[in-house]
Amino acid sequence: MAKKTYDLLFKLLLIGDSGVGKTCILFRFSDNHFTTTFISTIGIDFKIKTVELRGKKIKLQIWDTAGQERFHTITTSYYRGAMGIMLVYDITNEKTFDDIVKWLRNIDEHANEDVEKMILGNKCDMEEKRAVSRERGEAIAREHGIRFMETSAKANVNIERAFNELAEAILDKTAGGREPDADHARIAVERRPSRAQHQRACCT
Amino acid sequence: MEFTLLKTINLISKTSSTKKLSMGNNVGGFTRTLEISYQALVSPNHLHVLQSAWNQHFCDNELKALILQDVVRTFPDETYFRDSNVQDLMNPNEVIKYLEKVKEEHLVPLDPELATHLNNCNISMELFGIRWLRLLFGREFPRTEIPHLWSYLFSEGPLLPNIHYVIIAMLISMKKSLLDPDPGTVLSALMRPVGLNVGHVIAFSLHLARPLVYARPSTPPPPLSQTQSRNYLRDWSLEERGVAGQSTSSDEGVAEGADVARELATLALLRAQLPAAAAALAQVLPKSPPHIAQPLQKILQLSALLQCRNHALVDVETALEADEGQAPEKTGKRQLVPVIVSTGSRVAHAAKPGVKSLKKQVKEVPLKLFHQIECDSNVSDLPCLDPLRLRTE
């Protein structure tokens, strides 16, 4: 047996309409690379990246799903094992934002109840083509009590931050991650201002 | 179950009073009624619990209809896409069933160790197989090699009867990396196969299809490490193919025209790439210790031999072809063309501008002027300045 090179294994899932940039986000995060060529994901893809959080080596197993409806039955079967889900829409395409509700319903139906969620409004580098304001993104996130960030895989905005924040949220939950009290303190005190900071950092 | 259904019916009749709800006892009527009241069912919030189950059911039905529509609309003029087997294959559920069948009927008996390990890793065939099948392995091999593989796949008709052998051949060819204890590594290997050799996969799947006719090919060269980029593979793909072709042909005992042409292509590729590579190596290592200098010298000698403008070697082999009653120009030239336009030869030209002019010279036919005396004899077939014997001198 190969020796374990990590302390914890987190399974993450990327979902959202076709063409919003799920694969690009994953590529930026795992390979720090961006390509404009559109290669649609067939079924499901998968990447691994190990990060270090609070002195723990965390292996992120990230599943990238096909956004196309036809793969729906296949992709939903991977919701179950996910500990964190990133829900991606494209800020330049209103429909992808409207579909967030549909994706949230998919999560409710197929994912574990305690799964950590995060909404990402991708392509925030394309300000001139923006169709969904940041306020609307924030509003839907607040309504469902989910973290929110605007990202750009192309300009490398908030990509690493998004994954780190999602991983930290899962770490908070896992046993041995933190003391429960400290958890609450962190959520109440730290997270909110830090989130606001990200949003300012992006697209201003 | 029946209890839940009754509850459902009650709830429906309460909530959607405007719809015509004839609560017949027959099941068909019930289903129809449900379809009518679908809108009513999904909207009210107090039905949330019920909603998810039924909503899912209808969403699934909608999706099924959409998929069916996609399937029916795919190239309606192509008979291939009208075949019911092919249409079944395009349906995701059918693909999953098919892949499981391939595993149970072929992988398990042929390589139980690998099948068990995949099971232990909790990796089902559809994870990687859907993409393999949907794009006909288009992302698993370098693009330059795809035509080769597809020629084989389509060689036995549009139903692709060999496709499952290709899947099995790929899996068994990759076995070494697939037996890694870490499921993540295994999955990565399956999602992004590295160093799969098209020639070997084809030879292997031929063997799987007809083990008595085709011998099992020897193990392929070890896959290149991840750090060596795919470009490297692409550059040398033709050469690899040549080698693979050789092994297949030796199994059959007779070298066929295509094999000879492939060997010629390999030779041409070597001629285009080796001299430049050797020269670059020699430039980097000007004063090398004897244990490097000696093999380097040999490489340089070989590349010099390749660069020699006497292309008689090729001509001789083409002529052999001609003896066997095959058209020499066709086999020779056609197969050589892609090699000449490949990136490799461009690199060679860039590095050594002399090569280009040399090649041109080779193609020039030396002219010989015949003297009148040489043409005197009427029996001679040699070309002369006065073929019609018009001169009276």
pLDDT, mean of residues A76-98: 92
Residue A5, Ramachandran bin (φ over 0: left; ψ between -120 and 50: alpha; else beta): alpha
B96 at interface of A, judged by CB pairs closer than 8 A: yes
The whole-angstrom separation of Cα A86 and Cα B251 is 53
Dihedrals φ, ψ of B103, to 5°?
-65, -50
The whole-angstrom separation of Cα B214 and Cα B179 is 27
Tell how strand A147-150 and strand A116-122 pair up. Answer: parallel
Nearest to A70 among B60, B70, B127 (CB): B70
Cβ of A2 within 8 Å of Cβ of B182? The answer is: yes
**Smallest Cα distance from B177 to chain A, Å:** 13
Q: What is the pLDDT of residue B292?
A: 83
Give the architecture-level CATH label for domain B93-219.
Orthogonal Bundle (1.10)
Mean pLDDT per 10-residue section of chain B, whose length is 393 residues = 41 40 38 39 48 76 76 68 66 81 93 94 89 90 91 89 93 92 89 88 93 85 47 38 38 48 76 82 80 83 70 39 39 37 40 45 60 55 57 52
Task: For A1, name the nearest residue in chain B, comparing CA atoms only.
Answer: B181
Q: What is the pLDDT of residue B368?
A: 64
Does the pTM surpass 0.80? The reply is no
CATH class of the A8-176 domain in this structure: alpha beta
Report whether pLDDT(A83) > 90.
yes
Cβ of A69 within 8 Å of Cβ of B96? The answer is: no
Q: What is the pLDDT of residue A51?
A: 94
**Smallest Cα distance from A65 to chain B, Å:** 11
How large is the C-alpha radius of gyration of chain A? 16
Which residues does residue B180 pair with via DSSP β-bridges, in sequence order? none
Q: Which helix (H) or strand (E) holds B40?
A: helix B38-42
Report whether pLDDT(A28) > 90.
yes
Q: What is the pLDDT of residue B342?
A: 38
Q: Which tops the pLDDT comparison, A149 or B266?
A: A149
Q: Which residues of B touch A47 (CB under 8 A)?
A: 188
Q: Which residues of B touch A2 (CB under 8 A)?
A: 180-182
Which residues does residue A62 pair with via DSSP β-bridges, in sequence order? A12, A47
Domain spans of chain B, in order of start: 55-90, 93-219, 260-310
Task: For A59, name the nearest residue in chain B, comparing CA atoms only.
Answer: B184
Domain spans of chain A, in order of start: 8-176
**ipTM for the complex?**
0.72
* Amino acid letter, B326: Q
Angle A79-A80-A83 from CA coordinates, rounded to 5°? 80
Task: For A106, name the nearest residue in chain B, comparing CA atoms only.
Answer: B56
Neighbours of A55 (CB within 10 A): 6
Task: For A60, name the nearest residue in chain B, comparing CA atoms only.
Answer: B184
Q: What is the pLDDT of residue A41?
A: 87
Q: Which of helix, strand or coil describes residue B352? A: coil
Nearest to B92 among A1, A59, A73 (CB): A73
Report whether pLDDT(A149) > 80.
yes
B187 at interface of A, judged by CB pairs closer than 8 A: yes
- B53, B41 Cβ separation under 8 angstroms: no
Nearest to A1 among B131, B181, B191 (CB): B181
